[in-house]
């Protein structure tokens, strides 16, 4: 329907009273706005310290935040999570190389792949954590399949503290610096799955994970 495209754009231009293409000076301004994106107005952060701010916000939204000194403690914390919520011994871990060095307990059977409907727990790797809102930023890639973030009942996210930033705007700046293009999927995750569609009563565990557990790792 290329005809529709032309007609819609013509109608837009007619409404803007612009029958000529954009003047060069205006087009250059718009171009600059796109190629050198700048943050707009930002709110002040609620408290000092990125980790503290992140923890307060995510906890308020129903997520859990733990802190591990290193990958050894990370493995222990994850084992404890599995026991606490009776998750069994199957653990689905993102193929991300950062997680290669985690010394998983021998009692666990660890698989590294995309998720299926049968996986109970997943461990995924965050690209960034946003202090402003307690949000984990996860990028899709062969190393970090998106299904890990939504199919399992328990979603454990590993977030090295060096990846904490103040605002989402800071995460975009890092993303542009590290990648040539947007990943297929960018997930901003700010709590466990929830719904209020029945009489406005908040209920956790709608279609996605019932629990979101972010582990901040200090030495990374």
Minimum separation from the CB atom of position 159 to another protein (A)? 16
Q: Which two tokens stand for residue 177?
A: 């610096």
Closest CA to 148 of 109, 181, 189, 182: 189
Site for another protein in 130-169 (CB under 8 A): 133-135, 140-142, 145-147, 149-151, 167-169
Q: Whose Cβ is closer to another protein: residue 174's or residue 218's?
A: 174
Mark 70-89 with x for binding to another protein (rule: CB under 8 A) and - for no binding: --------------------
Shortest Cβ distance from residue 42 to another protein (Å)?
8
Which of 22, 51, 52, 110 lies at the binding interface for another protein (CB under 8 A)? 22
C-alpha span between 166 and 162 (Å, rounded): 12
User: DSSP letter string over 137-153?
Assistant: EEE-BTTB-GGGGTSSS
Q: What is the 3-state secondary structure (H, E, C) of 84-113?
A: HCCCCCEEEECCCHHHHHCCCCCCCEEECC
d(CA 170, CA 128): 9
One of 23, 28, 69, 113 touching another protein (CB under 8 A): 113
Q: Does 206 bind another protein (CB under 8 A)?
A: yes
**Residue (of 217, 177, 214) closest to 54 by Cα position:** 214
Measured in whole angstroms, how far is the alpha carbon of residue 177 from the centre of its chain? 18
Q: Which of 72, 103, 196, 219 binds another protein (CB under 8 A)?
A: 196
Which CB, 3 or 106, lies closer to another protein?
3
CA distance 137 to 67: 18
Nearer to another protein (CB atom), residue 14 or residue 89: 14
Site for another protein in 27-46 (CB under 8 A): 27, 30, 33-34, 37-44
Nearer to another protein by C-beta: 14 or 103?
A: 14
């Amino acid at each position: 329907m290329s005809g529709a495209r032309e007609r819609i754009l013509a109608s837009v231009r007619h409404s803007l009273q612009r029958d000529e293409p954009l003047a060069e000076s205006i087009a250059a301004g718009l171009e600059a706005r796109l190629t050198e994106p700048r943050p707009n107005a930002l709110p002040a952060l609620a408290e000092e310290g990125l980790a503290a701010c992140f923890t307060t916000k995510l906890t308020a939204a129903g997520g859990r935040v733990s802190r591990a000194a290193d990958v050894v403690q990370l493995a222990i914390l994850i084992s404890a999570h599995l026991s606490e919520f009776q998750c069994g011994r199957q653990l689905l871990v993102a193929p991300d190389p950062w997680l290669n060095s985690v010394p998983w307990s021998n009692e666990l059977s660890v698989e590294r792949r995309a998720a299926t409907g049968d996986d109970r727990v997943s461990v995924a790797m965050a690209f960034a954590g946003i202090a402003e809102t307690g949000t984990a930023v996860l990028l899709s890639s062969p190393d970090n399949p998106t299904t890990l973030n939504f199919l399992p009942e328990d979603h454990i996210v590993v977030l090295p503290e060096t990846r904490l930033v103040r605002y989402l705007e800071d995460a975009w700046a890092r993303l542009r610096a590290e990648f040539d293009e947007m990943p297929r999927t960018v997930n901003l995750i700010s709590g466990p799955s929830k719904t209020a569609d029945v009489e406005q009563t908040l209920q956790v565990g709608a279609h996605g994970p019932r629990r979101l557990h972010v582990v901040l790792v200090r030495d990374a």
